[in-house]
Structure 1
Amino acid sequence: MSEPHQDRAKRKLLAVFAHPDDESFICGGTLAKHAAEGYDITLVSATRGEMGRRMGNPPYLNRETMAAAREQELREACEVLGIRQLILFGIRDKTVEFMDEDGLAGRIASLIEEIDPDVVLTFHEVMGGHPDHCAIGKATTAAYRRAERRGSLYFITFGDAMSRPERYGHTRNAVVKIDVSAYLEAKLAAFRAHRCQTEMDEWVWLPDREALSRFGRHEYFLQADPILPAREFRDSF
């Protein structure tokens, strides 16, 4: 059961991702939902996405201008989603996997100690799909273990893959399914904020009703410690 809104204002969520747009494309509905419910959200983007292959349609960016443009787009998406604090690590795009793992984990652990989040979101170190995703997920998981905080750690997943978690060796008890149907307009606005990455996707720019129909009504998360009682994140739905 949901607690009063004033209590939610004291709760904190830390999301640690690799690139600008990870927050919007993968779990924008969930972030918008929790922001609306009073969570203080901090987003970490390890890189500024300067190695992205999409440069607008028609192209108007290059390797020199890409980072600044994507950072600005990320800031606009954060505003749309209700994310209060953005932290950029400044790691070069596509090199997160080559960073000193212990040093990166230490940096994230310091943030966890400082913020004391109730919920930490990151990529799964194997199922992240992109080397940068997996690397930041592995470092964040190590940082979470190191910090020994009371909050809960969850891995973001793609689309509705975890609607049938057995296919990936997980049980339904380990999966949290979030109804984001009331926050799809915010998610679409965040997609559109990442203009250079979505201009090639015609459906994003269709009339709102048509574009919104492309989104699923739920986002799925994998609990890092399914043998432990699920706490803040699961309880907030």
Structure 2
Amino acid sequence: MVGRDRCESHGRQAGLVAFHAHPDNEALVTGGTLARVAAEGHRVVLAAATDGEAGAASALGCARVVRFGLPDSGWNRTERPASGTFSQLAVADAAAPLIELLREEQADALTIYDPAGGYGHPDHQQIHAPGVQAARAAGTRLVLEATIDRKAIQRLVRVVEAIPGVLPDVHASDYAAAYSPPEAITHRIDVRPYADAKRRAFAAHASQATADQGARTLALLLKLPPWLFRRALGQEWFVEHGRRPDRPLDDVFATLR
């Protein structure tokens, strides 16, 4: 496989496809990693399942942005998403455009979400199974679930809670069952040197769609002073399929080297 040869040759370019539900999620959970991988000379392709603007991609160094244009399911805890929206598609149907993209890119690696979809948005939950199926069908051997260390985010939210008026609607208790427990984490990526790029990506999305829930989250996080933004958002976490959790790695391509 050409993509595998690229990665296994030390120092040569690898290809990573980041599969996200909405066109702001890449900034929130993988923005620093994408910026770091791109800065290290690798090819990064951003794929968004649902439609929307993707102006943050240039801040992160992405070589290509692909939007599959599938209908957003919305976020309502009490109502089932409408038929035909992304979260309601059969796994094979949701995976089909991603399979085509992975084959076209001859991708070495794919990022998806954890099975819970982080905090439970139905479109985020839908990313997992189609992503796994697409990687298997396309022969993409490295699959990384983008997630957050549950305990780490609770600690950081407590710091934010202590600053009056910064993020008044965010509480550590909201994350008691969200994302992944620390013992499941295989990668903890240091993205502090790329905090400025991540912040620029946040700003791009927040300025594009102020009525969107994700954009509101980005706008709120942009209120953090730079030192706290870097501290709160200076690490990103992944769970690699097939790797036994041990000491978390700081190299997303470690398995391929």
Partner residue, 2:68: 89
Q: Deviations over 1:114-172 (max 9, x none)?
A: 211121101123343211011122101111122233x31000003x32769xx957745
Partner residue, 2:234: 217
1:85/1:148 CA distance change after superposition, 3 Å = same
Task: Give runs of aligned pairs for residues 49-198 of structure 1, distance below 5 A.
Answer: 70-71=52-53, 74=54, 76-94=55-73, 95-128=85-118, 129-149=120-140, 151-158=141-148, 160-161=149-150, 171=183, 175-195=186-206, 196=210, 197-198=215-216
Structure 2 residue runs of 5 or longer lacking an equivalent are: 1-8, 74-84, 154-176
Contact 2:98–2:131 (Cα < 8 Å) also in 1:
yes
Q: Deviations over 1:69-102 (max 9, x none)?
A: x41xx2x200100011111111111121211321
Deviation at 1:215, TM superposition (A): 2.7
Distance 1:225 1:90 in 2: 31
Q: What TM-score results when the alignment is normalised by the length of structure 2?
A: 0.68
Distance 1:137 1:117 in 2: 17
Partner residue, 1:25: 28
Task: Give runs of aligned pairs for residues 34-53 of structure 1, distance below 5 A.
Answer: 34-48=37-51
Contact 1:32–1:82 (Cα < 8 Å) also in 2:
yes
**SS across alignment from 1:117:** coil
Contact 1:119–1:152 (Cα < 8 Å) also in 2:
yes
Identity of aligned residues (%): 29
Distance 1:101 1:202 in 2: 34
**SS across alignment from 1:194:** helix
- Between 1 and 2, higher relative CO (CA 8 Å, sep ≥ 6) is seen in 1
Q: What TM-score results when the alignment is normalised by the length of structure 1?
A: 0.73
How many pairs were matched up? 202
1:77/1:9 CA distance change after superposition, 3 Å = farther
RMSD across aligned positions (CA): 3.2
